[in-house]
Structure 1
Amino acid sequence: MSLYNVFDISASGMSAQNVRLNTTASNISNANSVSSSQDETYRARQPVFAAELTKASASMSNPQGSSVGVKVLGIVESDKPLQIEYNPNHPSADKDGYIYKPNVNIVEEMANMISASRSYETNVQIADAAKQMLSKTLSLGQR
């Protein structure tokens, strides 16, 4: 694998972690929202990642020629049950006096944010190490 392919892999990893951080931020910002129906209530979202299979199969036939990065397949909503609370005095209560809160767990989201941030940082460090190796390689012929 070429050192240039490391930049592609690292960039796809940073892009994927950026999606993960944005999704987590959206979950946290909507954690305390309230709704009067289950259909309108925010549901926690999670990104789904996969290896770029087209590049993976190409790299099997030509291991020196291509790299395998990360692809974001999509973002799915959690199927965990919503938090239902009886609060007839709330302005958003339905006709039966219930309000609906998102199924977002703040502790899980904070752990997810820390993990995504560290993964992003690791990808930056990998790209920086590859840049330093390329720079050292170029400077070998100058002496």
Structure 2
Amino acid sequence: MGLFGAMNIAGSGLVLHRKWMDAVSDNIANINTVRPTSGNAFQARYIVAQADNYGQASGVQVGGVEFGNAQGRMVYQPGHPLADAQGYVRMPDIDLSDQMTQLMMAQRGYQANLAVVERAQAAYQQAIGLGR
């Protein structure tokens, strides 16, 4: 694998981890979204990573998106304007501690891939400097 191959693989990792962070931040932002019991709860998004040309060392890509439970959880809030006759509303079934763990993993992966890109770029610049 050449220098540009390393940059391409790390670049694909950057894209994947950025999309992962976007999904997690959207999940965290909607953790308290209230819906009426007649509708679906906010569904958390989960990014599925997939090897690009597995065995060929060509990076990763988003293989798909999975969604959380549309039923969510029923919460008793009789004073809420969206509450039903029994006083219940529907909220997403999102665990904040799990989402924070996912966010840290995505951030660390992004940082690691960015470091590879920066080091490959520095090595490329050094190689150009040797030719002068």
Asked if TM exceeds 0.5, the reply is: yes
> What letter corresponds to residue 90 of structure 2 in structure 1?
Y
Mapped to 2, the partners of 1:13 and 1:116 lie a distance apart of 10
Q: 1:116 aligns with which of 102, 106, 113?
A: 106
Give the drift of 1:81.
Answer: 6.0
SS of 1:109's equivalent?
helix
Mapped to 2, the partners of 1:139 and 1:86 lie a distance apart of 67
Contact 2:74 2:88 in 1 (8 A): yes
38 and 22 in structure 1: CA distance in 2 versus 1, 3 angstrom threshold: farther
Q: Verify: 1:2 aligned to 2:5, yes or no.
A: no
Give the CA RMSD over aligned residues: 1.9
Give the drift of 1:117.
Answer: 1.2
Give the drift of 1:80.
Answer: 8.4
Give the drift of 1:73.
Answer: 1.5
79 and 35 in structure 1: CA distance in 2 versus 1, 3 angstrom threshold: closer
Overall identity of the aligned pairs, in %: 27
SS of 1:91's equivalent?
coil
Question: Residue in 2 aligned with 1:107?
Answer: 97
Mapped to 1, the partners of 2:38 and 2:15 lie a distance apart of 32
Mapped to 1, the partners of 2:131 and 2:19 lie a distance apart of 41
Contact 2:51 2:61 in 1 (8 A): yes
Q: 2:115 aligns with which of 100, 105, 125?
A: 125
Give the drift of 1:38.
Answer: 6.0
Question: Residue in 2 aligned with 1:70?
Answer: 60
> What letter corresponds to residue 71 of structure 1 in structure 2?
Q
Contact 2:41 2:71 in 1 (8 A): no
Q: Which runs of 4+ in 1 moved over 6 A?
A: none
Mapping 1:1-143, distance limit 5 Å: 1-37=1-37, 39-53=39-53, 56=54, 59=56, 67-79=57-69, 82-142=72-132
Deviation per residue, 1:36-90 (Å, 9 max, x gap): 126331021110110012xx46x3xxxxxxx411110221112386221222222
Give the length in aligned residue pairs: 132
- Please, which runs of 5 or more residues in structure 2 have no aligned partner? none
